[in-house]
Homo-oligomer: A and B are copies of this chain.
Amino acid sequence: MSGKQTNLLQGTLDLLILKALALEQMHGLGISNRIAQITRGTFVVKPGSLFPALHRMEEAGWLASSWGESENNRRAKYYKLTAAGRRQFETEWRQWKTIALAMRSALDAQ
């Protein structure tokens, strides 16, 4: 085992998905793998969390999907960011920075 895994904080999954898709368009399981990679194994998103989130985000207009073929010759649904999705990514990133700063300030207090 490489590192410790934790559960997601509610609200961070969207940001991680948006980040993954900002790097490259991908299918669902690809996103999951990418999140594990960029968080160095800290977050492991299982299908039961991932797919509802993808559907929700597509519904919100942040993602667009199309069926294609995976690198393993499987039927796979590819997602990419819409313009609104890129804006959402920037917004959530900014919010995360605000939160992280506030938590740091709080936890350093004495």
Contacts and interface: CB of A to CB of B under 8 A. Distances in A.
Given A23-B110, A98-B4, A109-B19, A103 B10 contact: no
Contacts of A101: 42
A16 interface: yes
Interface in A8-52: 9-12, 15-16, 19, 23, 35, 38-40, 42-43
Interface SS of chain A: helix, strand, loop or mixed? helix
Interface of A: 4, 6, 9-12, 15-16, 19, 23, 35, 38-40, 42-43, 93, 95-96, 98-107, 109-110
26 contacts: A6-B95, A6-B98, A6-B99, A6-B102, A9-B9, A9-B11, A9-B12, A9-B99, A12-B103, A15-B107, A19-B106, A19-B107, A38-B105, A38-B106, A38-B109, A39-B103, A39-B106, A40-B105, A42-B98, A42-B101, A42-B102, A42-B105, A43-B102, A43-B106, A96-B107, A100-B103
